Every structure is written in structure tokens, then in C-alpha cells.
Structure 1
């Protein structure tokens, strides 16, 4: 049992958005149907529209399909991370939006079986979506994230290219246009200096939250592709600092969850904490975590956001700061993205002249929750090396209450995780 600071809303002052006392029952009863791509009728597939309308509908449909795939990818990646023995008793927190953006950007330069595996792993149905469809969808996602003036938020990508390496101009142009990528030339033979350059860029873009994405660089690195995401939101109804106090937090099943009054113990609740924007934090507190982890899917997110209604309650949540770090090589391999890490890698969309492979996919994330709001940041790095020197290190870094930060209108999942011990 851990002792930590506990944030509390006063019952007389706060109207809480929640679906009380039925969260786990709903999760057990709702079946996730159709893990493939759906075609909402309102997006239009009729033949009676003018050509211009059909093109517009097709574009909207592609964006919808990519968004659905990103949601599914969020939960599949979470389950892969949670399944490893190393994750037991540890926090999980990551940004699906950052990982998917980095891998989608990489797919621009992939061909053949490597491209097929990346598309399948990300959940993109290649019979319905082309690479151009995916690129245009991510362009709209990133533009929307950076044009929203009411939030302190930013998302983007960058590519660092060795001075001696000349990738295809069309590859770099697509990254710049569709993934809003900044481009830099570096000397990767100076590994320490190059790592510092990348880390300083990520640190600046995440307001100091991710200060060392790159621990080391492979000696044959010729390109490093990164994506970053930063979000800082203020609660629509802030917590009163005067009510912050020490309390107990459950770490395992042998200890009591929290010393809370009977009326405020939401053992089966799904709570929504809205920020004073279009974003929300959802907190899911099940009786059996494994049930929630195995069942949760985009349908639940849709239903929760649609069905929740304001209720007046006392609410206790931990005040905490966590950091997570992952090497995703094994996880992505288990999700079917195998070839990019080995001799079969086909990244000829980046360069025809030199054979390339992915050396590492690393991810780091942070989450800070206090009385005023929450700040979350993450970055994903993909090292691309000359295949003749290619090495694949095997590292497993995993982190288990589930937490999800989403944009309510699009249901885009920015961050997803499980907090087992917020004192770590």
C-alpha cells in the first residue's frame, strides 16, 4: 500500500461527468464487433452525386477510415505492452498518436512486403486506403492539432539526415507536406553530438518534458525519424488545493483501494474529467483490471462520450508525475511488423542506392496531474541504418487505473495507459 497526495473535489462545488456504477457491467456485456474498417453511411458511397461531391466524400471517408484504424491500433498496442511479464506491477503510459504518426511517416519510404506489414500493423486496409490517403489523413490530423487555439498543444514530426546520405527528394517532400516534418542535416559519425541535437529538439517541442529520447545511436545510422506530442490542459473545474491531502492507494489486490467514504468509492465507475477545451481525461476503475484491458475498444470510447451525464459527487484522484520508456522493437514485431528490422527490410522509397533497415523504435512519455490540470508529452524515435551494419537489440520496457486522453469530437486518442503505482 502506498501513501500519496490525493486530489479531492468538494461535493457541493463540483458537477462530475460520469457513468456511475455500471462501467464494468457494460464492458462485460458490450461486444467489440468488426475490428476491420467500417463505412458509415453518412460518408456517402452513392453513385447519384456529382463528381466533385464524390471526391470530397472519398476524402472524408479516407480520413474516417484512418481515424478508426488509429483507434484500434491504440488498444492493440496497449494490449501488447501490457501482455509482457515485465509490465506486471508497473505503470503503462504512452501516446498512440505519436507512435502511429512515426510509423505512418516511415511507411512513406517502405515498399513491398515491408510496406504491407506496416499498413497491416497500423490497421490500414490496403484495399481501401492508399499511401496518399494515409498521408493526407495525417496531414489533416496534425493541422487540426496545431490550429486549435484554445489548447496548449502541439504535434509534429522531424527527420534528421546524415550529411553524406541523400534520400529521395519525394520522400522528404511528402514528410514535409503531409507530416509537417522539420528537416535537419547532422553528422551521425559524431554520435554523441547527433544524439544531443535530436534530444534538444524534442525537449524544446515537448516543453522540457521529454529531455532524452535518444540514449545512444547506432554507428551506421543515416537517418532518424521522430514524432512528438505535447498537451497541457486545465480542468474545467479545478481541484481546490486546500482539499489535497495524503491518502492510501491500492498497489495490489491484497490492500484496500483507498480510504474513501462509502458514497465516493466508485469501484465500477468510468469518470470523465473535462478540460476547459474539447479534450477530456477518462479514468476507468474496474473490479477486475484484466477484464477491462481485454475488452476495451473504440466502441466503448464512443459510448462513454455519448452516454455520460453530469452528476454531483466527491471525487478523489491521485496527484502524481510518471515517466515511461520503451523500446518497441519486440512489440511491433509481435504485431506483424517484422521485416523492417532485418535483412528483408524494403525501404527503397527512402533510397534505391543503399539498403536500409530500422535499428530501433523507441518511445518515451510523461504525465503530470495536479489541482489545476494535466500535462502529457511523448516522443517516438525511429533509427534508420545501413543494413550492412544492422543490429537489433532486444529490450523490453513496459509500464498498469487506465488513463486515456482524447479529443472528444474526433475521438482521437492522444494518450493511453494504466497507472499501478503513481509513486514510482
Structure 2
């Protein structure tokens, strides 16, 4: 007989690899431009707002460490969880994620994720961008049919029967799934499972992008990166002299540089002047990001950008500070998932890894030429802490966000 209160484990994994490519390929623009009022576009502003709120929450815990996470992954997992949550638990999840149900209906939220996941997982995209949701269910537990049906229909979830009585075998089954879905980049994510766990929800997002405008590997040199006023570390730094979409925000004293990928994704890298990082962080919001995006000007710059290899590993119980509390305690109502036992989340972890490097790039016979103005261009040197955000361009969804305090690790 099962104990009266059983544990539910939520696991999120994200891998982002940004790889310069020497292939000067034409960008294929899809004829199927998304409707401005599509559900996926309607949920993207909420995801951006949440991403910034979560970023601020992490900064409040430690303002001198690397930060990297996937708002998309966290949002996907918790809205999927909301499918099976009821009463106050359900309301807290949606409100904590920033949704205003007077402005967007639940139907549009779930339709939005269905559209978004379909867009992200389209085959043949030059961008390697895939998401996956795995439901690991105790072999003795029956889930509510509607939850299984909706999670499959809206989130393309895979379901697995799991023997949680064999703790080691259950961990291996789940870790193998995460490793496979992140193409071997995130391994052994789960170190331990609560003895009462009967249900594990796993969300993975894998992103590998090639720069539309590549860096030349032979120009990469070791240069100093100023972590803070007292600490300088040597890092391998890429260099490219060319045309970029950039803007210098004089009010906030920061450079904003857009770098595009082959396919439907783009990144914004925000470089505050020395001593201005906190000022920029305090001002961050969706309106500011939209303003920067509209203000970008194509101009020549001499760009120095470090290779980056960092990871973020977070206990998502921190979301209780955004009002998502019941789901982690004995007041949790997840009866829309199973009516056989009372569930609560005992563990909720999110790990995201980012690599910005030149692995796998090869010289190509193709050559890309740009006309560079005769005037001396400014140098934009990412040799001190900076902020980054990566967006899927068709739906304007924020995939990843982070802060690089030390490119080679915390």
C-alpha cells in the first residue's frame, strides 16, 4: 500500500551551444510568417517578463556568479504541471509565471505552448533546436486520462513506466533520457531521488546555433577578462571586424550587440560600462529589450568576444518567492494528475549549460565579403561581465538568459 503523501520530482535541463560556422549559406526565410495574434506570440511577452523576474531573483541571491537558465524550459514544465493542478495550487502556478487571466485565457496559454513547441521542433531547420518532455510514472500508479491526453496533445510528452522501488534503476532511466535529449552534454543530472517519489516530469531543451557571420579561428587569442576590480583571468577571445546590429545606450551606459544565427534565432549581448552592471540589471524589463531591438543600427565595429563555457544549476523551490508555494508543500493539489494519491513536489531542479566556442568549425571554400566604411569603427570589447538573452525570432520567445561573470566558469 502506498504512503498517503507521495513525492513528485521536476527535472529541467537545457543545453545551448553557440558555434561559429564558416559556411556562408543563404538564410531561408519561411513563407509561413506567424500571425501577430497567434497564441504562441501572445504568450512570448509573459515568458520574457518571467525570464527577467527569475534573473533578478537569482541576482538577489548572488550578484557575483555566472547565471544561465532557460525561461522556455521552466515555463514549459510549470504550465504542463498546471494542466494537472487544481484550486489554489493551479492559480498560484499561472500567477507566479506572470499570466494575467483577465488578459489571456488558459485556452490561449496551452494553445500557445502547443504552437510554440511545434515551431521549435520543425524538422529541416538550419538551427538545431529541440524540446522534449518526459513523464516517468510509477508502474503501480494510474494517471488521470485527461492529463495524459492533454500532455501528449499539447506538449508532445513521452510517458515511461518506472519502477521507483528500484531507486538506482529509476535514476539511471531518467538520467539516460536527459543525456540522450541533450546529446550527451548533461549527464547524471539526478544524484538522488526521494524514497517516496512516484512521478517525475522532465523537460529538456537543446539548442545549437551557428553564427550567421562567423569568427575566424586564427584570430582567437588569449586576452584578459576583468571579472571585477580585483580579479582578472585570461580567456580565449574571438575577434571579428565587420558589420553588426548595435546600439550604445547613453542613458544606461552599455553596448547592445545583436548576433544572428543561421535560421530563426538571434542573441542580444549587453555589455555595461565598468561599474554600470547593477544599473543595467535594475533597469531590465521587456520594454527596454524591445526599445533596444528597435534602436539597433547596422554599423561596423571591431568586436572582441570571449569563448564561454558556463552552467547554471538551480533549485526551483526558489519560485516560492514569486508566489508558487502550495505545489511544494502539503497543501499541493495535483489531483488532476492522479486521484490515487496526494502528490507534492519534493525536488525541482533546473540545469542549463552554455558553450560559445569554435568546436566543429571547418574552413570552407566559400567566402563572405562585407563593405566596411572608411571611418575608424569603435571597438566593442566584451572583456568584463555582460548579460545575454537568446530569442526564437518567429515567435519572439526567450529561450535562454544569463550573465557571464567569468567565461570559463564560476
TM-score, normalisation: structure 1: 0.75
Cross-structure match for 1:415 = 400
Of the three residues 281, 287, 307, the one matched with 2:267 is 281
Cross-structure match for 1:25 = none
Judge conservation of contact 1:159–1:226 (CA < 8 Å) in 2.
yes
How many residues end up aligned between the 2 structures? 340
User: Are residue 314 (structure 1) and residue 302 (structure 2) matched?
Assistant: yes
TM-score, normalisation: structure 2: 0.77
Of the three residues 345, 349, 356, the one matched with 2:332 is 345
User: Are residue 157 (structure 1) and residue 157 (structure 2) matched?
Assistant: no
Cross-structure match for 2:81 = 106
Judge conservation of contact 1:240–1:371 (CA < 8 Å) in 2.
no
Provide Cα deviations, 1:56-104, integer angstroms capped at 9, x if missing partner: x6xx3x44432221111111111111111xx232100000000000000
**SS at the partner of 1:351?**
coil
Of the three residues 223, 228, 231, the one matched with 2:199 is 223
Judge conservation of contact 2:120–2:129 (CA < 8 Å) in 1.
yes
**Counterpart-to-counterpart distance in 2, 1:114 and 1:339:** 5
Cross-structure match for 1:405 = 390
Provide Cα deviations, 1:166-200, integer angstroms capped at 9, x if missing partner: 11011011111101101100011111111111111
Cross-structure match for 1:116 = 91
1:2-401 equivalent positions in 2, closer than 5 A: 60=38, 62-84=39-61, 87-147=62-122, 149=124, 150-254=126-230, 268-287=254-273, 288-329=276-317, 331-371=318-358, 401=386
Structure 2: runs of 5 or more not aligned: 1-18, 21-34, 243-247, 362-384
- 1:161 CA displacement: 0.3
**Counterpart-to-counterpart distance in 2, 1:343 and 1:227:** 24
Provide Cα deviations, 1:238-285, integer angstroms capped at 9, x if missing partner: 111111111100111346799999x99x87211111112221121101
Judge conservation of contact 1:402–1:419 (CA < 8 Å) in 2.
yes
Cross-structure match for 2:367 = none
**SS at the partner of 2:324?**
coil
- 1:372 CA displacement: 6.8
Structure 1: runs of 5 or more not aligned: 1-6, 9-41, 44-56, 375-399
Q: Which structure is higher in strand share? A: 2
The worse-fitting range, judged by mean Cα deviation, of 95-104 and 66-75 is 66-75
- 1:301 CA displacement: 2.5
- 1:147 CA displacement: 0.7
Provide Cα deviations, 1:278-323, integer angstroms capped at 9, x if missing partner: 2112110113111121211122222333321221121111112112
**SS at the partner of 2:136?**
strand
**Counterpart-to-counterpart distance in 1, 2:398 and 2:128:** 17
- 1:226 CA displacement: 1.2
Judge conservation of contact 1:328–1:362 (CA < 8 Å) in 2.
yes
Q: Structure 1 pair 273/64, CA: closer, same or farther in 2 (3 Å)?
A: closer
Provide Cα deviations, 1:9-61, integer angstroms capped at 9, x if missing partner: xxxxxxxxxxxxxxxxxxxxxxxxxxxxxxxxx97xxxxxxxxxxxxx6xx3x
Judge conservation of contact 2:41–2:396 (CA < 8 Å) in 1.
no
Judge conservation of contact 2:175–2:189 (CA < 8 Å) in 1.
yes
The worse-fitting range, judged by mean Cα deviation, of 182-191 and 64-73 is 64-73
Q: Which structure is higher in helix share? A: 1
**Counterpart-to-counterpart distance in 2, 1:296 and 1:268:** 12
Judge conservation of contact 2:48–2:286 (CA < 8 Å) in 1.
yes
